[in-house]
């Protein structure tokens, strides 16, 4: 019977892991949540609609600018890869 040692080792490790899991259960079963949640009140600011529209506009403009930059970088990288590939193919055909 080959592999019996492996099965015994697997069972031993599963038993050890099970014992570790039970040790952690007490933390989750307790109702003492003082350390988990901080007590504070949420306050919302009232923002005028014009200012809110301006903020949205600025966010959209920033996103468009960033997107344009990413597309530009992608096109430059693609052109460089194609140029390298073309140079490599020309080099192979010469020899």
Number of domains into which the chain is organized: 1
For every residue of 2-61, DSSP letters joined together read TTHHHHHHHHHHHHHHHHHHHHHHHHHH----TTTS-----------HHHHHHHHHHHHH
Domain extent for 23:
4-94
- The model's pTM is 0.46
pLDDT digits (tens), the chain, 95 positions:
567 778 888 888 888 877 776 555 555 555 555 555 566 677 888 889 999 999 999 999 999 999 999 999 999 999 999 999 999 999 888 76
């Amino acid at each position: 019977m080959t592999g019996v040692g492996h099965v015994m080792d697997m069972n031993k490790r599963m038993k050890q892991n099970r014992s570790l899991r039970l040790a952690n259960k007490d933390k989750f079963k307790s109702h003492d949540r003082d350390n988990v949640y901080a007590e504070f009140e949420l306050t919302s600011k009232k923002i005028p609609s014009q200012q809110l529209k301006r903020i949205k506009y600025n966010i959209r403009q920033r996103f468009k600018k960033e997107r344009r930059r990413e597309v530009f970088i992608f096109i430059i990288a693609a052109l460089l890869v194609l140029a390298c590939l073309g140079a490599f193919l020309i080099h192979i055909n010469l020899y």
